[in-house]
Amino acid sequence: MLASGDCVGSGYTDLAFTESNAEFDYELPLNVSFGAAYEFGRGALEVGVRYYGESGEFELFDTDTKGLQTITNATSTTSTEVPFQPTLNSWRKVVNVSVGGNYQLNDRFRLHAGFNADQSPVADPEASVFRRVDLLGFSTGLSLTMAQFSGALGLGYSSGESDPVTVFVDNEGNPFKTSMSVRSYRVSFAVSFKFGEG
């Protein structure tokens, strides 16, 4: 069941939908990815590219069931059936790139670092249920290798902010917009120990 209400002055508007068999259609955009690596002396470089194709507007949620709209004011209450407005979505074309590498500092330690772009394929955040947040990220780490012991420690950070999106319109018709910021901090580690000779 989906319901919403709006109170204005001396009146109140209530809208309710009840549907147990709504259609959900999530169309995946074309997704192509490839990568390449180059090794040299004491290190290596890697590049990865991911492409998302664009698509036209499609209905994410839809149903033929009508909702019940009830309007109450100081003198009367009226109820009418209203059609469900489909939830729309569309994809835009984006290309995301990631670059990383490692370098052998000495016989035991190896340094790692990388950068990545993570753009959102959401085409129109004003018309979509999804927010569009384009992220940029960086990671670095250090790994250790000994005769029987090995370990690694990595740190990562990514951030991005969405465009302002209209959440609702007030009684005077002025849009109320909000934006969303994303900050992500990551810590990863691994430890291994080899027993015996072989």
Assigned token pair, 8: 């204005």
Adjacent-strand bridge partners of 102: 44, 112
Average pLDDT, the chain: 85
Q: Where are the domains of the chain?
A: 25-61+88-193
3: pLDDT confidence band, cut at 50, 70 and 90? very low
Query: Which of 35-44, 67-76, 81-90 has the weakest average pLDDT?
Result: 67-76
d(CA 159, CA 115): 12
Give the pLDDT score at 6.
57
Q: What is the pTM of this model?
A: 0.71
Give the pLDDT score at 141.
96
The pLDDT of residue 170 is above 80: no
Digit-coded pLDDT (tens) for 89-128 = 889 999 999 999 999 999 999 999 999 999 999 988 888 8
The pLDDT of residue 64 is above 90: no
CB 95, CB 43: distance < 8 Å? no
Distances (CA, A) of 136 to 104, 112, 117, 158: 26, 18, 5, 5
DSSP assignment string, 32-94: EEEEEEEEETTEEEEEEEEEE--EEEEEEEE-SPPEEEEEE-SS-EEEEEEPPPPEEEEE--E
Read off the DSSP letter of residue 27: P
Closest by Cα among 112, 59, 114 to 90: 59
Q: What is the mean pLDDT of residues 76-97?
A: 85
Assigned token pair, 45: 């470089």
